[in-house]
Structure 1
Amino acid sequence: MPDNDRPKVLMARIGAAHGIRGEVRVKPFGDDLLSFSDYGSLITDDGRVFEVDRARVQKTVAVTKFRGVDDRNAAETLNGTDLYVFRDQLPEPDEDEFYYSDLVGLDVKQPDGALLGKIAAVQDFGAGDLLEVRPKRGRTFYVPFTKAFVPGLDFETRSVTVDLPEDYLSEEKPPEVAD
């Protein structure tokens, strides 16, 4: 399978330069701050490949030296770069576990079976995980990824069941509350 067809998993995001020898602060997306370096080469959206020379934990980031990034100027150009590994490089999750990237593309259905759309992405803007749902028509919308809103997840049928409040998708403004 060509590399651009292989699913990728976001592992980390490069932040600010650290020092003058090409090190950068890396914000990993995982429980272990150094796990992004366990799977070999890291790739970017535009196809660049990064190899970790060394990494060390410093508070909530990993100060990292990438091969070929040898000075502060080179390091500064990487700020904001997302780093991925191919999904097939990761270990298979345990039973009742999954990677968020495995959710992308699943059908989103109501309890009565009505199709609302497909999962376009899983987002976290700081207040918890959200499923971004792309309907057949119209703008995407978000559903909190909680048991109350998403009571069913079935990888065999490639679908999730969402239980939304009656007016959840309404475009009407709620009535004003009097003081």
Structure 2
Amino acid sequence: MTAAGRRVLVGRIVGLYGVQGWIKVESWTEPRVQIFKYQPWQLISAPGEGLEINTREIKGVSGRPQGKGLIAKLPGVDDREGAAALVGQDIYVARELLPPPGKDEYYWVDLEGLEVVTTEGVGLGRVSHLFATGANDVVVVRDGERERLVPFVQGVYVRSVDISGGRMVVDWDPEF
């Protein structure tokens, strides 16, 4: 699966700043202010019970560091009430906007959907998603029947990643 059309989670709206519609932003880009260079933003609200996912595309976001965080001004959001409606929304950008990863580096979105096989060729399923822990990232592999959590430690558990070939080889016991 190609990265075309995929979105990457780069931050979240976490609060309000002032009364003129400014918001506080948590950024997961490096450096954190880089989030303002990736536009348009796609704001996505997590659905509540019985609600649908709400997606909104925003162009022309401006922002700056403020204290230990970041603040942003979104076009068309000119008061505190309008900004309050955005708190909690995730900020995504198109994968194509991001620079290519370095050698042996990957965007999680590029790993999702890869077939996962052991070093002996036993199929374990496909990468569902990844999550971070204090020690290392973890790959969630699902095959329809079970879910496996494989530490994403290259050279130890993850032996190779072939994005274009759609495959990840892991040193992992299929029974574990």
TM-score bin, normalised by smaller chain: 0.7 to 0.9
Task: Report the AA paired with residue 89 of structure 1.
Answer: L
**Out of 120, 136, 149, which is 1:142 matched to?**
149
Task: Report the AA paired with residue 143 of structure 1.
Answer: V
Task: Report the AA paired with residue 157 of structure 1.
Answer: G
Task: Report the AA paired with residue 7 of structure 1.
Answer: R
1:84 aligns with 2:83: no
- Match of residue 104 from structure 1: 112
Deviation, 1:59, is: 4.7
Contact 2:122 2:174 in 1 (8 A): no
Pair 1:57–1:128, CA change in 2 (3 A):
farther
Larger % of strand: which? 2
Separation in 1, partners of 2:164, 2:41: 30
Structure with max Cα Rg: 1
Contact 2:158 2:171 in 1 (8 A): yes
1:18 aligns with 2:25: no
After superposition, where does 1:121-136 map in structure 2 within 5 Å? 121-136=129-144
Q: Which runs of 5+ in 2 are unaligned?
A: 45-53
SS of the equivalent of 1:64 reads strand
- Match of residue 176 from structure 1: none
Deviation, 1:58, is: 3.0
Pair 1:146–1:94, CA change in 2 (3 A):
closer
- Matched-pair identity in %: 31
Q: Which runs of 5+ in 1 are unaligned?
A: 170-179
Separation in 1, partners of 2:101, 2:151: 22
Pair 1:164–1:60, CA change in 2 (3 A):
farther
Deviation, 1:95, is: 4.1
SS of the equivalent of 1:34 reads helix
Deviation, 1:103, is: 0.4
Deviation, 1:71, is: 1.5
Task: Report the AA paired with residue 120 of structure 1.
Answer: S
Moved more, 158-167 or 40-49: 158-167
Contact 1:107 1:117 in 2 (8 A): yes
- Match of residue 38 from structure 1: 37
